[in-house]
Chains A and B, each alone.
Chain A
Amino acid sequence: MPLETVRTEAGRAPAATTRTEARERAARNRRLGVHAARAGVLAAFLGLWEVCARADVIDPFNFSQPSRIWDQIWQWVSHGTAQGPLGEQIGYTLYEALSGWVIGVTGGVLLGIALGRVRFLADVFGPYIKVLNAIPRIVLAPIFLIWFGLGPASKVASAVVLVFFPVFFNAFQGAREVDRNLVANARILGADNRRVTLQVVIPAATTWIFTSLHVSFGFALIGAIVGEYIGATKGLGLLVAAAQGTFNAAGVYAAMTILAVVALLTEGLLTFAEKKLFRWKPADAGDGR
């Protein structure tokens, strides 16, 4: 009897390890498959585009083609653009978007939390904010150009107005929806109003605020680019405008590609910061993607 037990256990142990191994291998294969399929979709899309352009199915003058776009990017990288080195253009756009974003987020968070906490302020300013929010804010870009000139200031201003509102509304909502029990507990434990705001309302609202940060950085880039497109001396938006002015479709696409890469990189950085900041939250199932 004992011998038998030993044998079955001995027989089971390797089986169990092979099963976990098999499961791991399957998961790895699945991941590889997804990546391969993604690359395949991109390659097929670019390939089809290239072939159609060469076979004159689509007009390469209007629709350009991947090889030309790549040549354009490469030329910008190695020889610089007509407006100066490529890095400088990216730097300008990022600088404008980032300044606009920081100002917009700071203003949105501060005002959102203030109005969310102080009923009187919310009652007074609520209608004005609704009216301002109803204006399609991108039309303000030309006005800012008149006010602040061709330099970065007008682009920063466009970015700020685009960023401010989504952040503001999220912060406001977050401050309003703080669990009443948490506030009651903090007050009983001895927190004054300032501490309740800083140590209960703000941490509770960060989830709300962070969801808006992702979206709003995209808005900041849009604000900067549109501002540059309308009138600027430097920046990626200017590259688009200049390429369009010389009927250089490849240039427009190339600038778009560079923008997409920049946006993706910053998005990645934000996600990283969020993971650090939200260690206290249960990892939810949908997060694995």
Chain B
Amino acid sequence: MTDTPAIELTGATKRFRTPSGALHTAVRDLDLTVAQGEFVAVVGPTGCGKSTTLTLVSGLEEPTEGEVRVYGEPVRGIDPKVGFVFQQDAVFPWRTVLSNVMAGPRFRGVPTAEARERARDWLGRVGLAAFEDRYPHQLSGGMRKRVALAQTFVNDPSILLMDEPFSALDVQTRALMSDQLLELWAGTGSSVVFVTHDLDEAIALADRVVVMTAGPATVKEVFTVDLPRPRTVEAVRLEPRFVELYREIWASLGEEVRITRERGAGRAA
């Protein structure tokens, strides 16, 4: 492992032009570094710019100002090392489950037979082996999300961007998938940026938890989660240090959530 950080945002700012023509700043002067093999969770009030930050790292969007680097190289377009689990449903409705998971390897020129084998392997791991012939509209929301996970993981990304990937899952599946994600991550040594609204999840999974300010997003505070690994989500919750961290992060985040809420109320009035 070298010292080059996997992800490096320096002074990144993103402005969008709203339909009325005004400029809306979604991310402002954001500095964030993710080391290789590090797991970073990002929490922040709704609408503050978390998803936007991920699109900057993925190369789907360019920063208006500042710089985004992946493995030391400035991001120009989409990097094949990056995997992105989107917040919204993004599986292809006209492809079957199997064909959806095969899409990534096929797009990257892997022969059909090998792509199918890898896709089947991943469908098994997310518990959807029996559903490979279904179309997405025949699945539940949670199942579709698992298809999306398999679709991303099958490409073996070394940088994994996850935007509230488990928010559509039931509590049990969520714990299961979290443990599985940890296992997987430990095996691959990939760097993860994991956006979530669930502090339990953030602390249980991450090496560091980044709290963002009310929009436009910038880093407010970073908490280092000094809980020993390997962890399992259920066990780590009971440690005193976990509870302590939870309280600290909750206080820091709560303030920003309140600001966001007051702003929303002010605008509505």
Contacts and interface: CB of A to CB of B under 8 A. Distances in A.
Partners in one complex: yes
Interface of A: 179, 181-182, 184-192, 195, 199-200, 203-204, 206, 279-282
Interface string B82-111: 111010111111111000000110011000
B84 A188 contact: yes
Contacts of B84: 184-185, 188
Contact of A191 (B58, B89, B96, B107): B107
Nearest to B136: A280
A187 B135 contact: no
Given A188-B82, A188-B84, A190-B155, A280 B108 contact: no
B151 interface: yes
B86 A181 contact: yes
Interface in B47-105: 55, 58, 60, 78, 80, 82-84, 86, 88-96, 103-104
Interface of B: 55, 58, 60, 78, 80, 82-84, 86, 88-96, 103-104, 107-108, 135-137, 151-152, 155
Contact of B90 (A184, A190, A279): A184
Nearest to A207: B94
Given A191-B107, A280-B94, A281-B137, A185 B78 contact: no
B191 to A, nearest CB: 16
Contacts of A282: 137
A186 B135 CA distance: 17
A190 B86 contact: no
Which of A185, A188, A200, A206 counts the most B-chain CB atoms under 10 A from its CB? A188
B154 to A, nearest CB: 9
9 contacts: A184-B55, A184-B90, A185-B151, A186-B107, A188-B60, A188-B82, A189-B151, A203-B92, A204-B94
A184 B107 contact: no
A185 B94 contact: no
Nearest to A195: B107
Nearest to B93: A280
Contacts of B92: 182, 185-186, 199-200, 203
Nearest to B87: A181
Given A203-B94, A279-B135, A282-B137, A188 B58 contact: yes
A187 B60 CA distance: 8
Nearest to B92: A182
Given A280-B93, A281-B93, A189 B103 contact: yes
Contacts of B93: 280-281
A200 B95 CA distance: 10
A196 to B, nearest CB: 9
Residue of A179, A184, A192, A200 with most chain B CB atoms under a 10 A cut-off: A184
B155 A189 contact: yes
A206 B152 CA distance: 26
A20 B92 CA distance: 38
Q: Which of B58, B86, B103 has the most CB of A within 10 A?
A: B103
Contacts of A184: 55, 60, 84, 86, 90
Given A184-B90, A200-B92, A280-B94, A189 B107 contact: yes
B137 A185 contact: no
B76 to A, nearest CB: 14
A181 B88 contact: yes
A281 B94 CA distance: 7
A188 B82 CA distance: 7
Contacts of B103: 186, 189, 191, 199
B95 A185 contact: no
Contacts of A186: 92, 103, 107
